[in-house]
Amino acid sequence: MHKVGYIGLGLMGAPMARNLMKAGYQLVIHNRSRGIVDQLAAEGATPAFCPREVAEQVDVVFTNLPDSPDVERIALGPEGIIEGAHAGLIFVDNSTIKPETARHIARELARAGVPALDAPVSGGEIGAKAGTLTIMVGGPEEAFEAVMPLFQAMGKSVTRIGDSGAGQVAKCANQTIVAAQMAGMAEALVLAQKSGVDPRKVVQAISKGAAQCWALDTKPDRIFRRELTPGFKAYMQHKDLNIVLETGNIYGVPMPVTATIQQLYRAMLATGNENLDNSAIITVLEALAGVVVGGE
Amino acid sequence: MHKVGYIGLGLMGAPMARNLMKAGYQLVIHNRSRGIVDQLAAEGATPAFCPREVAEQVDVVFTNLPDSPDVERIALGPEGIIEGAHAGLIFVDNSTIKPETARHIARELARAGVPALDAPVSGGEIGAKAGTLTIMVGGPEEAFEAVMPLFQAMGKSVTRIGDSGAGQVAKCANQTIVAAQMAGMAEALVLAQKSGVDPRKVVQAISKGAAQCWALDTKPDRIFRRELTPGFKAYMQHKDLNIVLETGNIYGVPMPVTATIQQLYRAMLATGNENLDNSAIITVLEALAGVVVGGE
């Protein structure tokens, strides 16, 4: 398995595609905007005109796109991957999309003889560049094993969760917990600040106990310095929580805490802060309380 | 400083008092119910009839009581600590109570010449027994330094956060973040279960990435086995979130996420599950969704 396609060369897709090239795979690429295609072509990748053309030339075709409708169109639409279906082709989607959409795409591609894996990732741009992503996979075992060497070129923790859609459900769980950490930390720090207590001291005191979490380990220093650039953008966190809540709606799972947090991310979008880091949800709580954490 | 008083010998207070005795301090004790007093007396402690009598005999008097009114009564009420005030006495409260109450008690005791430290702890019964608690301290620097050797007999991480009440504010922050972890994890696991995905696999896949937190590290296996005994009781978590939200009310800090989580803990109390572990908040989400996590 030597020829690999990658469609969607954004902040995540481009470094993931580069890691496949570094691992020795011959890459065929496609992307809406041209700049990154030219860059990767200069590094040895072969551009293709449309997703169909990519699929026709490769053994495994990856997608990494913003949202559910994008993946559905690229996989199943006109000039899409399904039109380039051939014996031996495997489809892998690294996007974060609705589990239901992943299952629909997998069903349609299976009819065309193409096994599909949903394989969303966690770890951000840094993890994508370093090849240290967490990859959560749903889909047929056999396809998963065939693609494993490629996953290992992009991630350090690769888990098959279950059948089609299960990777996306795991990503939903991940994003639910990440959002809860960010919101809980934000409310805690704003409370400390406004009640006249140094939030730096609070973090120092509580960060090794039961409050310990990834958010508290990595974000407070940046918040105190007001370095709120991403990281992981708030509008992506908002989009991912949309997916979580829609999935909850489909399966009948009330999620009152996540729904509340989602409203706070919506406030970030409404006030033009959608491109800040997801930890910058604290700016919403600060605005509600009329205080800035880390100030005097 | 050799003679130490300890008032409130519950699940936390008794092992903390024992660790002071192990460190060589002579203990004077008082407790509402008699059984534990007799046990500790058999181990060498001296029982006293009332808080005043404890205070009169010691250099440092600790309290460890259920809620704010209890500490106020024991410290400032009739036959209370304030009536046993004498030169050199320091008051230390290990309870989790309202920062405002801690500040009020400190002001009143200061008038009687007694410096006061609020010193709530985190780490549970296990940490209390092992002497590995996190202790968050508010109050005068000099008193903090004088009591430090005693804190070190009970905890492994001891931080002075700031002036009176600051220890309780840090505990508020701690409980806010702990509750967010518990609720986020619960919603995530219920979503996985009800959408047909093995929550064990989900935890395995996400637990080392950005979702990593103390709750996810320690609780899922017990949830899957339905071992929901405490640990830290839900009614204590509910009580602590009451303190958090009342403190937010006093200082003007809207906390929509914590308020939502508090409602879920209230549901645990309403349905008779108040003595389960705080991670058993998942039972509320399970009831809402009509599913049991970890089942078939």
Are B13 and B40 within 8 A, CB to CB?
A: no
Q: Which regions in chain A score pLDDT beneath 50?
A: none
Mind listing the pLDDT tens digit for each residue in B203-222? 999 999 999 999 999 999 99
Per-residue pLDDT, B231: 87
Residue A179 touches chain B, beta carbons under 8 Å: yes
Question: For the whole prediction, is pTM greater than 0.95?
Answer: yes
Q: Which of B22, B129, B171, B194 is catalytic?
A: B171
* Residue from B169, B185, B249, B260 to probe the interface with A (highest A Cβ count within 10 Å): B169
* Cα within 13 Å of Cα(B45), Cβ side: 28
Spatial separation of the C-alpha atoms in residues B218 and A172, rounded to whole Å: 20
Both structure tokens of A253: 């799972």
Spatial separation of the C-alpha atoms in residues A107 and A22, rounded to whole Å: 32
Those residues with Cβ within 8 angstroms of residue B249's Cβ, 6 or more apart along the chain or in another chain: none
CB < 8 Å to A122, chain B: 206, 209-211
Say if the Cβ atoms of A180 and B185 lie within 8 Å.
yes
Among partner residues A172, A197, A252, which is closest to B170 by beta-carbon distance?
Answer: A197
Those residues with Cβ within 8 angstroms of residue A175's Cβ, 6 or more apart along the chain or in another chain: A96, A237, A240, A241, A243, A244
Both structure tokens of B180: 């967010």
Residue A23 touches chain B, beta carbons under 8 Å: no
Per-residue pLDDT, A32: 93
Say if the Cβ atoms of B192 and A169 lie within 8 Å.
yes
pLDDT of residue B168 exceeding 80, the answer is yes
Among partner residues B162, B198, B216, which is closest to A198 by beta-carbon distance?
Answer: B162
Question: In the CATH hierarchy, which top-level class contains the domain A169-289?
Answer: mainly alpha
Q: Average of pLDDT values for B252-258?
A: 98
Mind listing the pLDDT tens digit for each residue in B108-140? 999 999 999 999 999 988 999 999 999 999 999
Say if the Cβ atoms of A173 and B258 lie within 8 Å.
no
* Residue from B126, B177, B245 to probe the interface with A (highest A Cβ count within 10 Å): B177
pLDDT of residue B263 exceeding 80, the answer is yes
Per-residue pLDDT, A1: 57
Q: Is the dihedral of CA B275, B281, B286, B289 positive or negative?
A: positive
The domain spans of chain A are 3-163, 169-289
Among partner residues B177, B256, B289, which is closest to A216 by beta-carbon distance?
Answer: B177
Both structure tokens of A157: 């923790």
| Residue B178: closest C-alpha in chain A | A211
CATH of A3-163, one of 3.40.50.11740, 1.10.260.40, 3.40.50.720, 3.10.450.50: 3.40.50.720
Q: What are the residues facing B162 on neighbouring strands?
A: B138
Spatial separation of the C-alpha atoms in residues B270 and B235, rounded to whole Å: 10
Q: Is the ipTM of this complex over 0.95?
A: yes
Mind listing the pLDDT tens digit for each residue in B41-82? 999 999 999 999 999 999 999 999 999 999 999 999 999 999
